């Protein structure tokens, strides 16, 4: 005996699953040109930051439990640098590691993945940091499934972090941590479409958060679409357009 109602229900569920996968649209963000470089002091009170659009819709693709702590991020550019200013709401801030390419992912950290030229999508970089200036950076010249470049350290970074709360003491409740960073374009010169970049150039990338001890969460700007936490998903990167 057949059960057409049940069969129909199953078909609808399958169709819905595929519809969600196909509906993915990478997020887009226009990086405005900085009329004046921000002062890198870990405070986003520079007037120029008010001219930048705000990214605040981070997603939590692998959330299972706990509080989803929000993030806001702003990006600017000029001939010299890409500037990032972000505020991470965080009730328990962990920041221990300061050595270059150390165990930064164990700390509360923020990451940018950057593909300088969408025409060569296998070539991208990732830089991540905690609030105390520990930096881990890598270059993937052959795509996510191939070994990273043997050693790649971005040069000329200017970094400042501030926080409201206490570090590495989860007995209290913290508020947030903020980072302001200037990343010279020179670091990406081999793969940029233009050097210095030109208005209208398109780059791709993602912004990610993870780490920390209490309430460890993973969040990101562009949904990576993987079943488990995995940030090396250049095929799902969002689109950055450089504007005047």
Segment interacting with Ca ion (CB under 5 A) among 54-62, 117-125, 169-177, 236-244: 169-177
Structure tokens at 186: 């020179």
| Least separation in angstroms between CB 113 and Ca ion | 21
Q: From the list 169, 175, 230, 243, which residue makes contact with Ca ion (rule: CB under 5 A)?
A: 169
**C-beta of 61 vs 165, nearer to Ca ion:** 165
Residue nearest to Ca ion (CB): 212
CA distance 108 to 110: 7
106 binding Ca ion? (CB under 5 A):
no
46 binding Ca ion? (CB under 5 A):
yes
| Least separation in angstroms between CB 114 and Ca ion | 21
Residue 22 has a CB neighbour count (10 Å cut-off) of 7
Question: One symbol per residue from 52 to 91: x for binding Ca ion (CB under 5 A), - otherwise; what is it?
Answer: --------------------------------------x-
CA 43 → CA 30, 129, 153, distances in Å? 22, 16, 25
Q: Using DSSP bridges, classify how beta strands 238-242 and 28-33 pair: parallel, antiparallel or unpaired.
A: parallel
CA distance 82 to 79: 9
Question: One symbol per residue from 208 to 237: x for binding Ca ion (CB under 5 A), - otherwise; what is it?
Answer: ----x-------------------------
CA distance 177 to 175: 7
Q: Which residues inside 108-137 make contact with Ca ion, applying CB under 5 A? A: 108
| Least separation in angstroms between CB 118 and Ca ion | 30
Cα dihedral 14, 20, 22, 25, rounded to 10, equals: 180
Residue 70: is it exposed, middle or buried by C-beta count within 10 angstroms (0-12/13-18/19+)? middle
Q: Which residue ranges make up the site for Ca ion (CB under 5 A)?
A: 38-39, 41, 43, 46, 90, 92, 108, 165-166, 169, 172, 174, 180, 212
């Amino acid at each position: 005996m057949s059960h057409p109602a049940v069969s129909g229900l199953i078909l609808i569920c399958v169709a819905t699953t595929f519809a969600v996968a196909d509906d993915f649209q990478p997020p887009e963000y226009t990086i405005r040109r900085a009329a004046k470089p921000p002062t890198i002091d870990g405070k986003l009170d520079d007037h120029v930051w008010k001219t930048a659009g705000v990214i605040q819709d981070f997603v939590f693709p692998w959330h299972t439990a706990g509080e989803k702590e929000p993030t806001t991020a702003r990006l600017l550019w000029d001939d010299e640098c890409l500037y990032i200013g972000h505020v991470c709401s965080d009730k328990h801030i962990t920041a221990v590691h300061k050595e270059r390419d150390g165990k930064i992912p164990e700390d509360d950290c923020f990451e940018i993945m950057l593909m300088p030229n969408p025409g060569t999508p296998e070539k991208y970089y990732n830089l991540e940091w905690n609030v105390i200036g520990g930096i881990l950076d890598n270059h993937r010249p052959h795509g996510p499934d191939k070994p990273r470049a043997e050693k790649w350290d971005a040069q000329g970074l200017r970094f400042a972090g501030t926080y409201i709360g206490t570090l590495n003491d989860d007995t209290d409740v913290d508020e947030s941590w903020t980072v302001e960073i200037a990343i010279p374009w020179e670091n990406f010169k081999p793969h940029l479409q233009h050097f210095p970049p030109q208005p209208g150039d398109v780059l791709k990338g993602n912004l990610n958060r993870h780490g920390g001890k209490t309430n460890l969460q993973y969040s990101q700007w562009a949904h990576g679409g993987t079943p488990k936490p995995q940030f090396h998903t250049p095929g799902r990167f969002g689109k950055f357009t450089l504007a005047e």
